[in-house]
Amino acid sequence: MTTLTTAKLFDTLTSVWKEDRPFVVYTFPGQNEVHACVQHTKAVIPSGSLDRKGFVFEPFHEGHPGVLIPSDEEYTALYDPESPELKPVAVLKEDRPEGHINLIRRALEALRTGVLEKVVLSRRITLPDPGKAPFEVFQNLLQGYPGAFRYLWHHPGVGTWLGATPETLLRVRNGEVQTMSLAGTQPYKGTLEVEWGAKEKEEQAMVTRSILENMAPHVAEVTAGNTSTVKAGNLLHLLTPIRATLRAGESPLVNIVKVLHPTPAVCGLPRETAKAFILDHEGYDRKYYTGYLGPVDPGYRTDLFVNLRCMEMSGMQYHLYVGGGITRDSDPQAEWEETVNKSATMRSVL
């Protein structure tokens, strides 16, 4: 591990970018230490069984490869946490919501027949390149979203992604697994003391029950903590912490990840039925949006995050990905407006 100044770190990564080599730079929630991993070759290395040190980047579904960037070179630096937060951008006025609203209506038909309990539907917004280098956009993420896991990930064989995700898939420390259920959304208006409707509360309870039931066969014990309101960018969510104890002598991390991903918060319930509905009807390829990512160091620590509030850099465009959970009580117009509000998080850094 080499410690650098922030300027020197970004100079180093700019050289790696120009060489078109794989790298990732990231920061944990609430921290001002930036970490980076650089791969020596351009090979696409499969992520495998989460038993090799490096940074994993996993897709929503099996149509794309899970990729490991190994820790061939490791760097760290501190950035100034006193930088002002980004100001929220004005709500984007989009003229053609019909496609997404019709998708939600189709989902409501399936929900009301009992085929689905919940399904998470998303869409992609394409914006022109604002003329900022990806490292400048990443530094905006650092400054604007201190409570999120922020990252810039690049592989010449896969693509370039950036994000600021509020959702942990899991953390592993000394035989204990920590995860969370996260659901419900409303705009942040200066306070965490807000009222939640029955739809949001039930959606959150549904996600929590599913995680507890799915993890139970693979761990010695699993329990849920108290639900609270948390802020992520300019939005509020309901969060319930979940803790589990691994069985002595076992290391079933891959098994646990398989039962957690994709979570009900990004896919739905029942999971396989919801996933099939998404793949059949959503109308575009999520790729790595709602997959998971993070550093893996077997025997020491693992931190995996759900890939939300993210965007893909492609040529002279940025693709922003936004979505929301649909239940029987959902209102199509309100769900559309929720995706518009969520897009402001990523648009503000551009």
Structure confidence by residue, pLDDT tens digits, 70-94: 999 999 999 877 655 556 666 566 6
Taking all residues of the chain, what is their mean pLDDT, rounded to a whole number? 90
The two three-digit tokens of residue 301, written as one number: 């620590």
In the predicted model, is pLDDT for residue 49 greater than 70? yes
Among the listed residues 157, 247, 283, 260, the one whose alpha carbon sits nearest the alpha carbon of residue 212: 260
Lowest mean pLDDT among 75-89, 146-160, 198-212, 315-329: 75-89
* Domain 2-81+96-349 annotated CATH 1.10.40.60: no
Q: What confidence tier does 141 reach under pLDDT thresholds 50, 70, 90?
A: very high
* Ranges of each domain in the chain: 2-81+96-349
CA gap 105, 103 in Å, rounded: 5
SS3 168: strand
| Tens-place pLDDT, residues 252-263 | 678 889 889 998
The percent of residues above 90 in pLDDT, for the chain, comes to 63
Whole-number pLDDT of residue 85:
56
Q: Considering the entire predicted model, what is its pTM?
A: 0.88
Q: What confidence tier does 194 reach under pLDDT thresholds 50, 70, 90?
A: very high
Q: What confidence tier does 342 reach under pLDDT thresholds 50, 70, 90?
A: confident
SS3 342: helix
Average pLDDT over residues 36-59: 94
CA gap 335, 346 in Å, rounded: 18
Average pLDDT over residues 225-239: 86
Among the listed residues 9, 3, 41, 32, the one whose alpha carbon sits nearest the alpha carbon of residue 54: 41
Torsion-angle region of residue 291: left (phi > 0), alpha (psi -120 to 50) or beta?
beta
By DSSP bridging, strand 118-128 and strand 2-3 are unpaired
Whole-number pLDDT of residue 83:
55
